[in-house]
Amino acid sequence: MSARFFCPDPPVDGRQRLGAGEARHLSRVCRLGVGDVVEVFDGRGFATTSKVITVGDDWVELTAVGPPLAERPPPCRLTLASAVPKGDRFDWLVEKATEMGVERLIPIVTDRSVVEPGSGKLSRLRRSIIEASKQCRRNRLMVLDPPMRWSDLAGCCPGLWKFVADPAGLPASRVAAIPHGQAVILAVGPEGGFTASERELADQTGWLSISLSVNTLRIETAGLAGCSALFARAEESNE
Protein backbone atom coordinates (compact mmCIF):
# COMPACT_ATOMS: atom_id res chain seq x y z
CA MET A 1 0.00 0.00 0.00
CA SER A 2 1.46 3.36 -1.07
CA ALA A 3 2.31 6.07 1.43
CA ARG A 4 -0.18 8.93 1.26
CA PHE A 5 0.41 12.70 1.42
CA PHE A 6 -1.77 15.81 1.58
CA CYS A 7 -1.30 18.46 -1.12
CA PRO A 8 -4.09 21.08 -1.10
CA ASP A 9 -2.55 23.22 -3.85
CA PRO A 10 -3.46 22.48 -7.49
CA PRO A 11 -0.72 21.21 -9.83
CA VAL A 12 1.46 23.76 -11.64
CA ASP A 13 2.73 22.68 -15.07
CA GLY A 14 1.67 19.14 -14.20
CA ARG A 15 3.67 19.06 -10.99
CA GLN A 16 2.47 18.82 -7.41
CA ARG A 17 4.43 20.39 -4.58
CA LEU A 18 4.27 19.24 -0.98
CA GLY A 19 4.61 21.81 1.77
CA ALA A 20 7.28 21.66 4.45
CA GLY A 21 5.52 19.35 6.91
CA GLU A 22 4.44 16.77 4.34
CA ALA A 23 7.80 17.00 2.55
CA ARG A 24 9.74 16.30 5.74
CA HIS A 25 7.44 13.38 6.52
CA LEU A 26 8.04 11.91 3.07
CA SER A 27 11.81 12.25 3.03
CA ARG A 28 12.82 11.96 6.70
CA VAL A 29 10.15 9.80 8.32
CA CYS A 30 9.15 7.55 5.42
CA ARG A 31 12.67 7.79 3.91
CA LEU A 32 11.32 8.09 0.37
CA GLY A 33 13.10 9.85 -2.47
CA VAL A 34 13.32 10.48 -6.19
CA GLY A 35 11.62 7.75 -8.20
CA ASP A 36 9.37 6.50 -5.38
CA VAL A 37 5.63 6.33 -6.07
CA VAL A 38 3.09 7.57 -3.51
CA GLU A 39 -0.53 8.71 -3.33
CA VAL A 40 -1.37 12.41 -3.15
CA PHE A 41 -4.79 13.87 -2.27
CA ASP A 42 -6.08 17.45 -2.07
CA GLY A 43 -8.78 17.04 0.62
CA ARG A 44 -11.51 18.08 -1.82
CA GLY A 45 -12.09 14.68 -3.42
CA PHE A 46 -9.17 14.39 -5.84
CA ALA A 47 -6.37 11.87 -5.38
CA THR A 48 -3.79 10.37 -7.69
CA THR A 49 -0.70 8.18 -7.79
CA SER A 50 2.40 10.33 -8.18
CA LYS A 51 6.14 9.87 -8.58
CA VAL A 52 8.68 11.88 -6.61
CA ILE A 53 10.87 13.87 -9.03
CA THR A 54 12.67 16.38 -6.78
CA VAL A 55 13.39 16.49 -3.04
CA GLY A 56 14.47 19.76 -1.39
CA ASP A 57 15.19 20.68 2.22
CA ASP A 58 11.55 21.47 3.00
CA TRP A 59 9.66 20.72 -0.21
CA VAL A 60 9.03 17.84 -2.58
CA GLU A 61 7.86 17.93 -6.19
CA LEU A 62 5.89 15.09 -7.76
CA THR A 63 4.18 14.33 -11.04
CA ALA A 64 1.07 12.21 -11.55
CA VAL A 65 1.72 8.80 -13.10
CA GLY A 66 -1.81 7.47 -13.33
CA PRO A 67 -5.48 8.46 -13.59
CA PRO A 68 -7.33 10.01 -10.64
CA LEU A 69 -8.12 7.53 -7.89
CA ALA A 70 -11.80 6.80 -7.36
CA GLU A 71 -13.52 8.57 -4.50
CA ARG A 72 -15.50 6.30 -2.17
CA PRO A 73 -18.36 8.38 -0.75
CA PRO A 74 -20.43 7.02 2.16
CA PRO A 75 -24.09 6.14 1.52
CA CYS A 76 -25.38 9.43 2.99
CA ARG A 77 -23.95 12.88 3.65
CA LEU A 78 -23.80 12.88 7.43
CA THR A 79 -23.19 15.84 9.72
CA LEU A 80 -22.54 15.17 13.40
CA ALA A 81 -23.43 18.04 15.76
CA SER A 82 -21.97 17.13 19.13
CA ALA A 83 -21.47 18.65 22.54
CA VAL A 84 -17.78 18.62 23.48
CA PRO A 85 -16.61 16.21 26.20
CA LYS A 86 -13.81 16.98 28.62
CA GLY A 87 -10.15 16.19 28.07
CA ASP A 88 -8.92 14.46 24.94
CA ARG A 89 -12.16 12.57 24.29
CA PHE A 90 -13.19 15.09 21.64
CA ASP A 91 -9.87 14.51 19.84
CA TRP A 92 -10.76 10.83 19.67
CA LEU A 93 -14.26 11.60 18.39
CA VAL A 94 -12.90 13.84 15.62
CA GLU A 95 -10.41 11.18 14.51
CA LYS A 96 -12.95 8.35 14.45
CA ALA A 97 -15.68 10.43 12.80
CA THR A 98 -13.18 11.17 10.03
CA GLU A 99 -12.45 7.47 9.60
CA MET A 100 -16.17 6.63 9.47
CA GLY A 101 -16.87 9.09 6.66
CA VAL A 102 -18.72 11.86 8.50
CA GLU A 103 -18.92 14.87 6.17
CA ARG A 104 -19.03 17.64 8.78
CA LEU A 105 -18.66 17.93 12.55
CA ILE A 106 -20.19 20.86 14.41
CA PRO A 107 -19.28 21.37 18.09
CA ILE A 108 -22.46 22.53 19.79
CA VAL A 109 -22.87 24.66 22.90
CA THR A 110 -25.86 23.78 25.09
CA ASP A 111 -27.23 24.83 28.45
CA ARG A 112 -25.27 22.03 30.16
CA SER A 113 -22.06 22.31 28.13
CA VAL A 114 -18.83 22.55 30.10
CA VAL A 115 -16.33 22.74 27.21
CA GLU A 116 -16.16 25.05 24.19
CA PRO A 117 -13.07 24.52 22.00
CA GLY A 118 -11.09 27.63 21.08
CA SER A 119 -9.47 28.47 17.77
CA GLY A 120 -6.13 26.92 18.78
CA LYS A 121 -7.68 23.55 19.59
CA LEU A 122 -9.79 23.61 16.43
CA SER A 123 -6.69 24.31 14.34
CA ARG A 124 -4.90 21.34 15.91
CA LEU A 125 -7.92 19.12 15.38
CA ARG A 126 -8.07 20.08 11.70
CA ARG A 127 -4.51 18.82 11.38
CA SER A 128 -5.57 15.56 13.01
CA ILE A 129 -8.34 15.27 10.40
CA ILE A 130 -5.67 15.40 7.69
CA GLU A 131 -3.66 12.68 9.42
CA ALA A 132 -6.73 10.50 9.89
CA SER A 133 -7.66 10.99 6.24
CA LYS A 134 -4.21 9.86 5.18
CA GLN A 135 -4.52 6.74 7.32
CA CYS A 136 -8.03 5.75 6.22
CA ARG A 137 -7.45 6.71 2.56
CA ARG A 138 -10.18 9.30 2.50
CA ASN A 139 -9.93 11.86 -0.34
CA ARG A 140 -12.24 14.54 1.05
CA LEU A 141 -11.50 16.10 4.44
CA MET A 142 -14.19 16.22 7.10
CA VAL A 143 -15.17 19.83 7.80
CA LEU A 144 -14.79 20.94 11.44
CA ASP A 145 -16.92 24.00 12.11
CA PRO A 146 -16.53 26.61 14.86
CA PRO A 147 -18.76 26.02 17.91
CA MET A 148 -22.45 26.83 17.45
CA ARG A 149 -25.18 27.25 20.02
CA TRP A 150 -27.90 24.61 19.92
CA SER A 151 -30.54 27.35 19.91
CA ASP A 152 -29.04 28.66 16.64
CA LEU A 153 -28.46 25.27 15.01
CA ALA A 154 -31.83 23.68 15.74
CA GLY A 155 -33.83 25.78 13.29
CA CYS A 156 -31.30 26.26 10.49
CA CYS A 157 -30.93 22.88 8.74
CA PRO A 158 -33.24 23.06 5.69
CA GLY A 159 -33.24 20.00 3.45
CA LEU A 160 -31.61 17.72 6.01
CA TRP A 161 -33.06 14.68 7.72
CA LYS A 162 -32.66 15.73 11.36
CA PHE A 163 -32.11 13.36 14.28
CA VAL A 164 -31.35 14.02 17.93
CA ALA A 165 -30.02 11.38 20.32
CA ASP A 166 -32.51 10.72 23.12
CA PRO A 167 -32.82 7.57 25.29
CA ALA A 168 -36.61 7.88 25.06
CA GLY A 169 -36.65 8.17 21.27
CA LEU A 170 -37.43 5.74 18.47
CA PRO A 171 -34.85 2.92 18.28
CA ALA A 172 -32.37 3.82 15.56
CA SER A 173 -32.93 0.44 13.91
CA ARG A 174 -36.52 1.50 13.17
CA VAL A 175 -35.62 4.71 11.37
CA ALA A 176 -37.00 4.77 7.82
CA ALA A 177 -34.57 3.92 5.02
CA ILE A 178 -32.49 6.98 4.16
CA PRO A 179 -32.19 7.66 0.41
CA HIS A 180 -28.69 7.28 -0.99
CA GLY A 181 -26.80 10.56 -0.87
CA GLN A 182 -29.33 12.26 1.41
CA ALA A 183 -28.00 15.00 3.70
CA VAL A 184 -28.50 13.95 7.33
CA ILE A 185 -27.64 15.55 10.67
CA LEU A 186 -27.39 13.89 14.08
CA ALA A 187 -27.26 15.97 17.27
CA VAL A 188 -25.72 14.58 20.47
CA GLY A 189 -26.10 16.51 23.69
CA PRO A 190 -23.78 16.97 26.68
CA GLU A 191 -23.32 14.80 29.74
CA GLY A 192 -26.74 14.89 31.37
CA GLY A 193 -28.45 15.37 28.02
CA PHE A 194 -30.36 18.25 26.53
CA THR A 195 -32.58 20.24 28.88
CA ALA A 196 -36.35 20.02 28.63
CA SER A 197 -36.49 23.36 26.79
CA GLU A 198 -33.79 22.20 24.33
CA ARG A 199 -35.69 18.98 23.63
CA GLU A 200 -38.86 21.00 23.13
CA LEU A 201 -37.00 23.19 20.62
CA ALA A 202 -35.91 20.05 18.76
CA ASP A 203 -39.52 18.87 18.57
CA GLN A 204 -40.72 22.26 17.34
CA THR A 205 -38.10 22.42 14.58
CA GLY A 206 -38.63 18.95 13.14
CA TRP A 207 -35.93 16.80 14.73
CA LEU A 208 -36.72 13.11 15.26
CA SER A 209 -35.57 11.72 18.60
CA ILE A 210 -33.76 8.38 18.27
CA SER A 211 -32.43 5.99 20.89
CA LEU A 212 -28.92 4.61 20.34
CA SER A 213 -28.62 2.07 23.16
CA VAL A 214 -30.39 0.60 26.18
CA ASN A 215 -27.48 2.03 28.20
CA THR A 216 -26.43 5.60 28.91
CA LEU A 217 -23.61 6.47 26.52
CA ARG A 218 -20.82 9.01 26.81
CA ILE A 219 -20.83 11.83 24.28
CA GLU A 220 -18.18 10.37 22.00
CA THR A 221 -19.67 6.87 22.17
CA ALA A 222 -23.13 8.19 21.34
CA GLY A 223 -21.76 10.18 18.43
CA LEU A 224 -20.10 7.20 16.78
CA ALA A 225 -22.93 4.78 17.61
CA GLY A 226 -25.42 7.19 16.07
CA CYS A 227 -23.34 7.73 12.93
CA SER A 228 -22.94 4.00 12.49
CA ALA A 229 -26.68 3.42 12.94
CA LEU A 230 -27.63 6.09 10.39
CA PHE A 231 -25.08 4.91 7.85
CA ALA A 232 -26.60 1.45 8.25
CA ARG A 233 -30.07 2.85 7.46
CA ALA A 234 -28.84 4.59 4.29
CA GLU A 235 -29.50 2.93 0.95
CA GLU A 236 -26.54 1.91 -1.17
CA SER A 237 -26.10 3.27 -4.68
CA ASN A 238 -27.49 1.22 -7.56
CA GLU A 239 -24.50 2.16 -9.74
pLDDT one-digit tens code per residue, 105-147 = 999 999 999 889 999 999 999 999 999 999 999 999 999 999 9
The structure's pTM equals 0.94
Q: Are residues 49 and 92 in the same domain?
A: no
- Pairwise CA distance, residues 178 & 230, whole Å: 8
- 238 assigned to some structural domain: no
Q: State the pLDDT confidence band at 66, using cuts at 50, 70 and 90.
A: confident
**In angstroms, what CA-CA distances link 4 with 49, 128, 238?**
9, 15, 30
Q: Has residue 176 got a pLDDT over 70?
A: yes
- Helix (H/G/I), strand (E/B), else coil: 170: strand
Per-residue pLDDT band at 221 (split at 50, 70, 90): very high
| Last residue in a domain, options 50, 68, 86 | 68
Q: Tell me the backbone φ, ψ of residue 176, rounded to 5 degrees.
A: -60, 150
Strands 183-188 and 77-83: parallel
Count of domains forming the chain: 2
Same domain, 42 and 101: no
Q: Containing domain of residue 29, as a range?
A: 4-68
Distance CA 181, CA 58 (A): 40
183 and 99 share a domain?
A: yes
Alpha-carbon distance of 143 to 167, in angstroms, equals: 28
Residues 104 and 189 in one domain: yes
Residues 26 and 135 in one domain: no
Cα–chain center distance at 62: 27
Answer yes or no: do 85 and 146 share one domain.
yes
